[in-house]
Structure formats: C-alpha cells, structure tokens
Amino acid sequence: MRTCVPYHLHSMLTLGVDTSESLGGVALYDEGRIAETRMMDTPLSHAECLFPLIETILEACEVDKSQVELVSINQGPGSFTGLRIGLAAMKGFCQSLDVPLIGVDGTHVYRHLVEEHQRVCVVLSSRRDLYYVRWFGGSRPKGPTAVMREAELIELLGQENRELVLVGSGAPRLAKQLRPWQHIRIADEASNQPSPLAVAQWGSRNYVADQLYSVEPLYVEPLLIGGKAV
C-alpha cells in the first residue's frame, strides 16, 4: 500500500472497483500515481463492505466523492453474486453523482499485468474444479473466455510447446501439475491477486463513453449436456 497523495484538479481521478472474486477491493488512480488501494478483510462481504471501503479510501486521501471523475469496475468473469452487487452499487453511485462508469473485462486486466510476455493464459478460479480460461497472443485474445475443468485445462496446457505464462487467481492452484513443463510458468504472486488499481488504470486508459446504462456482468457458464456441466 503506497502513501496517499492529496488530490488536486489536474487530471482525471478514477475510482477502481473489483468485486469479481471473494475478496473485493477499491483503488484511486490519477495519471499512474496510486493514491490508495484498499482490499476487504473478509471474503464474500461485498454488500456490507463496499461503500464503507470507498468512504475510507476517499477520507484517507482527502478526496470528496464529488471529485471522482470516472468509475471503472471489473465486470467479470467472476463471482455471480459479487459482480451483481458491485455493478448495482456503482451504477447507483455514478447516477447520483453524475459520474461516468466503464466496465472492464477482467481477463484483459490480468493479461496486462504481465506486459512483457507475448503468450499468456489467464486462469481465474470459478467454483469447484472449474476455471475461467482465456488465451492471449500478444495483447489480443485468441478467442472468448471458456469455462474448463481442471483436468481438461491441464491436458490442453500439456500440448503447449512454446513459452507460456499463466496469470490470474486460478494459476497458483495449477503449479504442482505444471512442474514437468519448464516452458510453462506461473506469474508472480502479486499479479495473481485481484487488483482494483489495475482495473482503474485499464478503465482510465480505455474510457470512450459512459456505459452507465449498458454495462452488464460478463457471465461465462460451462457447456451443459443433459443438464450437467461438462
């Protein structure tokens, strides 16, 4: 956690919000300088903790909520309940203050936490042994986000024959199974944690138009055959 920087009216101040996983958090970002990052202390406490956490971060940085110029939120994939709570709360926050809202795809956020690598696989924890998975070549996704079981994902990774970096909340869970393949590595611990700061940065850099009335959670469901996930 870096030192808070008093806010002055010189550039866009962005509030980043991430409620896509069990531990949510918020950040303030202004031209690459973090004013503050705060994560929730209790898992699955988005409904109770989100607004108090925002108030805490604003007070710590001596910022009034009326000075926030953009809200950037991780719209998924991730926890169904967490995404829904976060988006509903921030839509209300933005509407009451007349602040624009942008939703960002969490797979893009994680991918750019390992900017120097050309081949990246984003792996996010879902439920049970399921993962949200998306491959990137350079900065571009090679396809949509898929939901995979662990065995299926390990099998696909075993077919890789070039350097590949895994990043995301689900990546560390695969470390033991991936030991035989030296060309596949797990990103550093910090890059595999939810980052509301990265969400704020991505939103600030890619903001074009207010999405208050159009942004929706990015839900990705497993393929169902005979009523069962496959």
* Domains of the chain: residue spans and CATH: 14-106+193-226 (3.30.420.40), 114-191 (3.30.420.40)
Q: Which of 139, 114, 76, 113 is CA-nearest to residue 195?
A: 113
SS3 at position 72: strand
Q: How far apart are CA 115 and CA 95, in angstroms?
A: 34
Cα–Cα separations (whole angstroms), residue 79 to 43, 44, 101, 136, 213: 12, 10, 20, 22, 21
Structure confidence at residue 117 (pLDDT): 75
Tokens representing 151 are: 């065995």
- Host H or E run for residue 133: strand 130-137
Segment-wise mean pLDDT, segments of 10 residues, the chain, 230 residues: 44 93 93 79 86 95 94 95 96 97 97 87 90 94 95 93 94 93 93 95 93 93 46
Task: Specify whether the CB–CB gap between 121 and 223 falls below 8 A.
Answer: no
- Confidence (pTM): 0.89
